[in-house]
């Protein structure tokens, strides 16, 4: 039961703005969500409906899980200092 990983257009731009080495780490981390969208260390964001975050170094990947469609939608990628700002 593998999930599909989709990136919102804004998340795709944020990923492309990272260095190639960081991109590689983030993509590897997102691919791991295919098999387990709720890995150890995942946090549900307070005050948000169905938003989760995982850490990869100083970066955070914010995503939502659609269990019925088996989709993980990445909505935001960024440095921990700025990713939670609207």
> β-pairing, 4-7 with 43-44?
unpaired
Please provide the DSSP assignment of 9-62 as one string. HHHHHHHHTS-HHHHHHHHHHHHHTTT-SS-TT-EEPTTSSS-EEEEETTEEEE
The answer to whether residues 37 and 6 touch, using CB atoms and an 8 Å cutoff, is: no
Residue 68 has pLDDT above 70, yes or no: yes
| Structure confidence by residue, pLDDT tens digits, 38-54 | 999 999 998 878 899 99
| Structure confidence by residue, pLDDT tens digits, 18-35 | 999 999 999 999 999 999
Domains, the chain, in order of start with CATH, read 4-70 (3.30.2310.20)
Residue 5 has pLDDT above 80, yes or no: yes
Residue 86 has pLDDT above 70, yes or no: no
Q: What is the DSSP letter of 1?
A: -
Q: What is the pTM (predicted TM-score) of this model?
A: 0.92
């Amino acid at each position: 039961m593998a999930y599909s990983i989709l990136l919102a257009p804004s998340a795709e731009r944020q990923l492309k703005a990272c260095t190639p080495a960081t991109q590689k780490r983030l993509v590897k981390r997102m691919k791991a969500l295919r098999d387990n969208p709720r890995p150890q260390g995942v946090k549900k964001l307070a005050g948000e409906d169905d938003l989760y975050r995982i850490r990869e170094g100083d970066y955070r990947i914010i995503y939502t899980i659609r269990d019925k469609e088996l989709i993980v939608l990445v909505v935001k990628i960024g440095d921990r200092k700025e990713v939670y700002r609207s």
